[in-house]
A and B are shown apart, each in its own frame.
Chain A
Amino acid sequence: MDSLYQEIILDHYRNPVGRGLREPFEAQVHHVNPTCGDEITLRVHLEGQGESARVADISYDNQGCSISQASASVMYELLLGRTVAEAMATHEAFIALMQSATDHGATEPDEDVLEDAIAFSGVAQYPARIKCALLSWMAWKDAVSQALTTGGTR
């Protein structure tokens, strides 16, 4: 169980970073985990255009377990200030990390880009908790793609 609840996760759970809904933003999404009822409302604010736009803010309000709360907080730290292209690469690495225990080594998570998020490697061992860890990341991707397609960047 200590591999699941690593200290970094517990720290982010107790003291989440970037929490709260803020202006300005180009897209807002609401995602739920239908198996447990966990929810997140997430906004993104991009500066610039397309893939080279910079992630200027990710603001969110969520309720859920320690894993889902910590995941949102770690994601905020990791993606803030990155270009959309860089952030998408990190996003992909995180998805790969979550799948690493169940796809029999087909994917190799890129630890260099994951930084603190590597603490979630233990979550991949518990299939029931993977959705908890992915909730905020899926919401972020959805919000970014909406922000890019509506062209509301400035």
Chain B
Amino acid sequence: MNTLLDPALRADFPILARTVRGGRPLVYLDTAATSQKPVAVLEAEREFYEQHNAAVHRGAHFLAEQATDAFESARAVIAGFVGGRAHELVFTRNATESLNLVSHAFSSATAKKAHGAPMPDGAERFVLVPGDEIVVTEMEHHANLVPWQELCDKTGAVLRWIGLTDEGRLDLEDLDSVITERTRVVSFVHQSNILGTINDVAPIVARAREVGALVVLDACQSVPHMPVDVRALDVDLVAFSGHKMLGPTGVGCLWGRTEVLEAMPPFNAGGSMIAMVTMERSTFADPPQRFEAGSPNVAQAVGLAAAVQYLERIGMPAIAGHEHVLTEYALAALAEVPGVRIIGPTTAIGRGGAVSFAVDGLHPHDVGQVLDDEGVAVRVGHHCAWPTCRRYGVPATTRASFGIYNQPFEIDALVVGIRRAQQFFGVA
């Protein structure tokens, strides 16, 4: 039974109490872009800097030990949150970097192979030859599309994609002809940031396994909003982002199966990622350190672990239920407004709380501007999913997206704002 969370938790998010645009209460419906932060996260970062700050993984002093312990404990907490183990979790700057780290493993292995340079055991699976295929979907965020396009340009691999149905779902009819014996990697989004669609992972994984392709999941919009277990999903690598799940900016994650991470060549090179260095050459640390060159984002990792603990206290099933109720409420409320068309699934089944829509006769910028004037913060534009917009024949959309702190009264404010925009521009 899905129920709303207690609105009292809004008090944990100080920013929700502020006003905008001449004293209007803030209605924050842009959590898919970035979430707001609870006091617990802010305090965890502050406490780290006030009590434990030091360089991690080096130095023998007391604070260095505490800082290292805080950083590595954060890794264990975050890995456990998605069903993984600490040594399987790589800290990055953001999910975009996580995905680039994976595509880079392919281009790096391919280049090293061409020159006979030493590679980790198992790195052959990251070596591409012209004509190899990379599969994505037509609902990818640019972060899970452009790196693969770049990889194709560097290696001669060919990009293919799973198309979409008019209802906003993956068209899996011809899955067997899109994922073929030539497919080396399938990288796809768990929950679309623009359509809200939650993709069924199992049939894609099953087909990818048949042809021996690596499976990468962009879980930026699922990990913050529903229970995600990387082992149950049976994928190889999972990217997600800290700032979308109540955590700080500047920290993202890449979870990977141990044997997959071990087979990947390094990403950034420099300090902290080496095993041994001579003037001629270097050998590299085991994962995850192999992928964490330079001073890491320690305070941000600590803040993200506090965010995870905050989410776990509420419980991911309860959070998913709350957002399901909000999504149902929003879809019903928007259906009542003439001229509003949902871009994405129109029922709350198999979809999350990112609701994109078009308003007949109005450009999303103008809708967003009127909403902003009412204190309602939404995202307008192509949401870094330009091809998805093209697929549905719109230059851009207006998107309302929900988080644990949203309540139905805020969706009411959204609807009032849309009607006002229609009146203002004379399209009602």
Chains A and B form a bound pair: yes
Q: Which residues of A contact B (CB under 8 A)?
A: 1, 4-5, 10, 14, 35-39, 63-67, 126, 129, 132
- Closest-by-CB residue of A relative to B381 is A36
Q: Which residues of B contact A64 (CB under 8 A)?
A: 363, 365, 395
Q: How far is the CB of A41 from chain B (nearest CB, A)?
A: 14
Q: Which residues of A contact B363 (CB under 8 A)?
A: 64-66
Additional A-B contact list (11), CB under 8 Å, known A14-B426, A65-B365, A65-B366: A4-B369, A5-B369, A36-B382, A37-B381, A37-B395, A64-B395, A65-B363, A66-B366, A66-B425, A67-B366, A129-B365
Query: 5 tightest A-B contacts by CB?
Result: A65-B365, A65-B363, A1-B373, A36-B381, A37-B395
Render B389-402 as a binary contact track against A, CB cut-off 8 A, 1 for contact.
10000011000000
Distance A129 CA – B381 CA, assembled complex (angstroms): 12
Distance A37 CA – B381 CA, assembled complex (angstroms): 7
Q: Is B411 located at the chain interface by the 8 A CB criterion?
A: no
A and B contact pairs by CB, cutoff 8 A, 28 listed:
A1-B369, A1-B373, A4-B369, A5-B424, A14-B426, A35-B381, A36-B364, A36-B380, A36-B396, A37-B381, A37-B382, A37-B386, A37-B389, A37-B395, A37-B396, A38-B396, A63-B395, A64-B365, A65-B363, A65-B365, A65-B366, A66-B363, A66-B365, A66-B366, A67-B366, A126-B369, A129-B365, A132-B365
Q: How far is the CB of B149 from chain A (nearest CB, A)?
A: 16
* B interface residues, how many (CB within 8 angstroms): 17
Q: Which residues of B contact A1 (CB under 8 A)?
A: 369-370, 373
Q: How far is the CB of B20 from chain A (nearest CB, A)?
A: 13
Distance A38 CA – B396 CA, assembled complex (angstroms): 8
- Closest-by-CB residue of A relative to B382 is A37
Q: Which residues of A contact B364 (CB under 8 A)?
A: 36, 65
List residues 215-257 of chain B with CB under 8 A from any CB of chain A: none
Q: Which residues of B contact A35 (CB under 8 A)?
A: 381
CB-CB under 8 A for A36 and B373, given A63-B395, A64-B395, A66-B425 = no
Distance A136 CA – B395 CA, assembled complex (angstroms): 17
- Closest-by-CB residue of B relative to A69 is B363
Distance A4 CA – B364 CA, assembled complex (angstroms): 16
Q: How far is the CB of B301 from chain A (nearest CB, A)?
A: 30
Q: Which residues of B contact A38 (CB under 8 A)?
A: 365, 395-396
List residues 403-428 of chain B with CB under 8 A from any CB of chain A: 424-426
Q: By the criterion CB–CB under 8 Å, are A67 and B395 in contact? A: no
Q: Which residues of A contact B424 (CB under 8 A)?
A: 5
Distance A129 CA – B364 CA, assembled complex (angstroms): 12
Distance A68 CA – B425 CA, assembled complex (angstroms): 15
Q: Which residues of A contact B370 (CB under 8 A)?
A: 1
Q: Which residues of B contact A4 (CB under 8 A)?
A: 369
CB-CB under 8 A for A39 and B365, given A5-B424, A66-B425 = no
Distance A37 CA – B194 CA, assembled complex (angstroms): 15
